[in-house]
Amino acid sequence: MDRDSSDIEPHLSLKIATPERPFELVGNEENFGPEDWAWFFLRKNEKYITSYLEHKQKTRKDPVRKLMGSLKQSSKVKALEIFDHAHFGLSDWVNPSELLPELGKNESWFFPLKNLVLENYGLVSDYPEKYLISDTVHQQGRYPFLASKANAFGYKTPDTNEWNERAFEEPGIELMWVAVDCSVPVKGQMTSLLSLAKINRNYLSKKSNINQFKKSPAMQHAVERISECNIFNHFNFTPVTGAPESQLSLESWRAVRINLLGNLVEQVGACEIKLNDIHKEAVKQKLATVPHRRLRTDLPNVQSGNSRGNGGHYLKAILTVYELHDQGWDDHEILHCTHIARIDPETERANLHKQNAWKIKFGSDLDDHIATAKRYVEGDYRWLIHIQKPVPARRKATTQR
């Protein structure tokens, strides 16, 4: 017996909008950003669900509730035990039946996919072994630096030690270095770079008279090869994608310098352009991977008489049909309950002039849409974090002002 369209809502993460445009974003859906969409797909991942349930059984308490409670008690997040949530790119476990809990400004649930490698001198022992070629520090006499730190969800105010505390009035401390993984699109890492630069500049302005540094010749932003930069040439690197080390090449990494006294947005933007070019070249040399297909925001427009139309948001569309398919709905039921009818190929040409032309196209490509959604569920959701798309409506409005 055919299912009725009224049966569909309990089975979906997002509501069907209208019969004419069932996949239109409605209400707060327009404000969903890359992390929200990545989570919608990840929480359908069977490996993640199994891992989460195993974790929950061990702790006997919802870890998200425990974590959020600790955040309310302290502004600092204590070092967390290493869980396999990082395998999925998450900062901590999240209940698959819930939406992502709110975090503080500049914090991220997918921070492991955007984390940068920070400069580190005299504190080499603080780094995981996977980042270091040896314990030997070759940068003796290096100018002072801010000992930047990160917690599970993002960057926090730098720590100081006796050495850099004494050097706060010396030129050079206004320069910040990080290493960036160009084996993936760098947009996600650039959001982290800008956030870190703002935190460090704010900290520097409180600790020293930064105006005195403007009297010295200013070193601007720069992008350098790891092998040619003594900031990181004693480090080893693990890609943010979690790819096997056999696929790792220093050619896909770059050292990036930012002057904290300059225009941070312009510097990060200029570095991003250079790093994107390096990523494209890495793809050509097969040192980097790319998504299965270019990310769409809207479904493809289809000609309907004198106008072109589609059914709304692409990710909402493929998520919807995947969820129904995953719960055992057949193609006929999926198309019927989403107000789409599959047209027989022999009559398709005669119906292309009708208003529902996009529905004909969507129905004929249903298997492809489900397969694409499955790839997002199994790991391609990471690309949304790397490319930082889709852009939420509220951010678009801010940018256009």
Domain coordinates of the chain in residue numbers?
A: 5-31+293-400, 46-105, 114-284
Residues 6+ apart with CB under 8 A from 147: 120, 123, 158, 159, 160, 161, 164
At 280 the pLDDT is: 92
At 71 the pLDDT is: 42
Q: Any bridge partners for residue 118, and if so which?
A: 178
Among 96, 30, 35, 104, CA closest to 72: 104
Mean pLDDT in consecutive groups of 10 residues from the start of the chain, 401 residues: 64 88 91 96 93 81 50 40 73 93 92 88 49 47 69 83 53 83 93 95 76 60 86 68 52 90 93 95 83 79 61 92 93 86 54 65 91 95 94 60 38
CA quadruple 88, 91, 93, 96: dihedral positive or negative? negative
Q: How many CB atoms lie within 10 A of CB 300?
A: 13
Q: Are 249 and 146 in contact (CB under 8 A)?
A: no
DSSP state of 236: -
At 61 the pLDDT is: 56
Q: Are 282 and 289 in contact (CB under 8 A)?
A: no
Strands, DSSP E only, in 154-219? 155-159, 175-181
Residues 6+ apart with CB under 8 A from 1: none
At 211 the pLDDT is: 60
Distance in Å from the first CA to the final CA of the chain: 53
At 199 the pLDDT is: 93
At 140 the pLDDT is: 43
The two three-digit tokens of residue 336, written as one number: 């019927």
Distance CA 201, CA 193 (A): 12
The two three-digit tokens of residue 218, written as one number: 């200013």
Give the containing element (helix H, strand E) for 250: none
C-alpha distances in Å from residue 296, one per residue of 12, 300, 313, 333: 21, 8, 8, 25
Place of tokens 């990710």: 315
At 320 the pLDDT is: 95
Among 137, 141, 140, 154, CA closest to 235: 137
Q: Are 109 and 34 in contact (CB under 8 A)?
A: no
